Amino acid sequence: MKDLSFRFLFLLLVGLGLASEPLRAQQPAFLPDENSYYGVIARSSGRSLDVVNASAEPGAATVQWEFTQAPSQQWRFVRVSPGSVYFRIEAKHSGACLTVEKNEENSPLVQRPWSGSFYQQWALTSGGPIGSIQLLNRGTERCASLAAADKANGTPVVAQQAQNRATQQWRLFKLHLNLDPKQPGFGTPEPLTSLNTPGNELKPVLAPDGKTLYLVRTKYDGNTEGNTESGDSWLSTSADGRAWAAATRLDALNTPQHNGVMAITGNGSSLLVRGTYERDGSFRDEGVSKVARNLTKGVRPQRLAIANYYSTNIATDFFETPDEKILLLSLERSDTYGNNDLYVSRAGAGGAWSEPLNLGRVLNSPGFEFAPWLAPDGKTLYFSSYGHAGYGGADIFVSTRLDDTWTNWTEPRNLGAPLNGPGFDAYLSLTPDGKQAYLASGRTANTPADLFRAVAGIPPVDTVAPAPAVAPEVAARTLLTGRTLDAKTRQPVVAEVKVTRLSSDLAFNATARTGASGGAFQFSLPPGQYRLAATSSGYLTATDTVTMVGSLNRDLLLVPASVGSRLELPTLIFAQGKYALLPDSYAELNRLARTLTDNPTVNIRLEGHTDNQGNPALNQKLSEDRVAEVRRYLITRGIAESRISVIGYGGTKPRTSNEKEETRRLNRRVEFTITKQ
């Protein structure tokens, strides 16, 4: 009875405005700097609190998304009144505040202009491991939570009863541009014009004598696989270490998948190369291998035996010291703080390598760390990051190891201008004498990466000014056209198409509605990167990302949204008689991954089929292995394992006759069926 009386009295005082703080929120677990912005990072996924499509509209929902420092991922915590334990949480891009939409379990969290509502006031309370907090809403006494325990981009953020689950725990990552003008710097990067092409030049690896340069090219017509995202290894030579000859393709290492030289080791005698070269001649873009630098014909690169090696992200990167004792890796694993983190593995007896050890949360951010290069002193580490505060895109940083644990580092320092700019800057390494640096850079946003060389060790100046912002070309326009089609019948579908600019230099959103006759849409867009989303009643949402540098045609395929709906994945291509995916398959798989991400309640079953040629038992196993490989890839793209089941039918369910090759090939297919909507 006393409890009931007390609760009645407390509610009465709240109603009169005499009790301003709930008993549960006495002291903040963490006092944020009101003049700074933070990434709000989910402990369970390493993804950040974001506003869907970076919308500035009131009522736009919040979701989790991989952390890239986008303005819609930057939040400021401001006390609602002096001395209060409650804060309003403001989004940088819109100035709107994190708000609980309704006093209901799993009510969406949205952004709305500040009104003073208790639904917009948040206490920071202790929760989970040291450094983690819960965000407790004053009006509902519910906390900010992920709607699902996954890492998928787009998972909604909702209000739930506080149960101290990992999905309800958050970490604040302060965005602080760490520059030190007292440190030696770098000169203006000069392009290596003889090596740069309209494609991307990446990962320059210089031989110890300074006269051989390995590089990776992507999106280049001269690659083994043509103009695709996967890369080939190339080689250039120089007589004086200054002028470089045109590069030649290193076909002894190249396959139809992504290849590259990661480092030169063994004091110049060996190459560290990405991936696994199987005995049967096939290749898997997984792990890292080593081969003699002379690339003797018939000698296969040998995979490094790294204890408990895995990465849930296929985008990996490696560096090995010349003495072959230390291996640095860029991986996404269970203990990663966000996207890829940097790890270390040590050489052991008999060619074995230790299990990768995370370099810690001072060095690693909630974003994507990659391109590690360790200086000869064994302590100075250069790397690139999308997560630490920078000038835009990926920037190059340096940090110093403080002890032999490999987990204690100085705060990463941004190398500043003119090395870093608004575009992509990565893969820095120094020449043996330390006087020059090689790097890859897209000097402005949305431009291909080229190779550059810069003078190192420039004496410090009084100040290091940020790179000047690049004004968007608002007058320039590109034309995006396309159709919205039924993914199964390829017939036009009436749909609403939204286009949203992804970069923060210019706010641009537009909507069009397609007609039933042709399903056509058209947008006039400033150059840049955009997200497309097509919605229509009875269909799953279809999305795509495009980079507009000129006119482009892009169709959006909408999958019928009904349980039992079946669709073939027509462009999945496997090596003959094998389950390894070929590069041309990834566009189709990425489209399916986006569909599943944008429709998080949908589950599917992958079904594998072969023709009837050969041993039926082997065909059965091949069909099972192929759908298992497709499932594995989708999981690496953040789709929960529980959402994908697989079955192989071998040659038991032909679509058409097996009498002729032109019809047999139609029976070799992978389909998916919606099992839950």
Residue 35: predicted pLDDT: 87
For residue 476, what pLDDT band results from cuts at 50, 70 and 90? low
Q: Do 465 and 189 touch, CB atoms closer than 8 A?
A: no
Examine the pLDDT at 169 and tell me if it is beyond 90: yes
Show me where the domains of the chain are located.
Answer: 24-174, 185-458, 478-558, 566-676
103 vs 588, higher pLDDT = 103
Examine the pLDDT at 338 and tell me if it is beyond 80: yes
How is residue 455 written in tokens?
């003078």
296 vs 412, higher pLDDT = 412
Examine the pLDDT at 1 and tell me if it is beyond 50: no
Examine the pLDDT at 464 and tell me if it is beyond 60: no
User: Which one, of 490, 625, 664, 483, lies nearest residue 568 by Cα?
Assistant: 490
Mean pLDDT of 482-502: 85
Whole-prediction pTM value? 0.65
For residue 504, what pLDDT band results from cuts at 50, 70 and 90? low
Average pLDDT of the chain to the nearest whole number:
86
Between 208-222, 239-253, 387-401, 564-578, the lowest mean confidence (pLDDT) is in 564-578
SS3 call for 393: coil
Examine the pLDDT at 157 and tell me if it is beyond 70: yes
Cα–Cα distance between 466 and 260 in angstroms, integer? 33
Above pLDDT 90, what percent of the chain?
Answer: 50
For residue 230, what pLDDT band results from cuts at 50, 70 and 90? confident
Q: In Å, what is the CA distance from 67 to each residue of 73, 388, 502, 675?
A: 7, 10, 13, 32
CATH number of the domain at 566-676, please? 3.30.1330.60
Question: Which residue has 């050489």 as its token pair?
Answer: 347
Give the domain 185-458 fold. Tachylectin-2; Chain A (2.115.10)
Pairing between strand 232-237 and 212-218?
A: antiparallel
Examine the pLDDT at 558 and tell me if it is beyond 60: yes
Give the domain 24-174 fold. Trefoil (Acidic Fibroblast Growth Factor, subunit A) (2.80.10)
Residue 248: predicted pLDDT: 94
Between 117-131, 201-215, 437-451, 454-468, the lowest mean confidence (pLDDT) is in 454-468
Same CATH fold, 566-676 and 24-174?
A: no
Cα–Cα distance between 158 and 214 in angstroms, integer? 49
Residue 223 CB neighbours (<10 A): 23
Above pLDDT 70, what percent of the chain?
Answer: 90
SS3 call for 451: strand
Residue 496: predicted pLDDT: 86
Q: Does domain 478-558 have CATH number 2.60.40.1120?
A: yes
Q: Do 604 and 672 touch, CB atoms closer than 8 A?
A: yes
Residue 162: predicted pLDDT: 92
User: Which one, of 581, 588, 601, lies nearest residue 674 by Cα?
Assistant: 601
Cα–Cα distance between 368 and 342 in angstroms, integer? 9
SS3 call for 16: helix
Question: Which residue has 């395929």 as its token pair?
Answer: 557
Residue 25: predicted pLDDT: 46
Mean pLDDT of 492-511: 75
| Strand ordering across the sheet containing 603-609 | 566-568, 669-676, 603-609, 644-648
Cα–Cα distance between 374 and 346 in angstroms, integer? 14
Cα–Cα distance between 643 and 653 in angstroms, integer? 24
SS3 call for 673: strand
Mean pLDDT of 431-435: 92
How is residue 348 written in tokens?
């052991």
Mean pLDDT of 584-591: 72
655 vs 291, higher pLDDT = 291
The dihedral through the CA atoms of 654, 659, 664, 666 has a sign that is negative
Please spell the DSSP secondary structure of 498-563, one letter per residue: EEEE-STTS--EEEEE--TTT-EEEEEE-SEEEEEEEE-TTB--EEEEEEESS-EE--EEEPB-ST
For residue 237, what pLDDT band results from cuts at 50, 70 and 90? very high
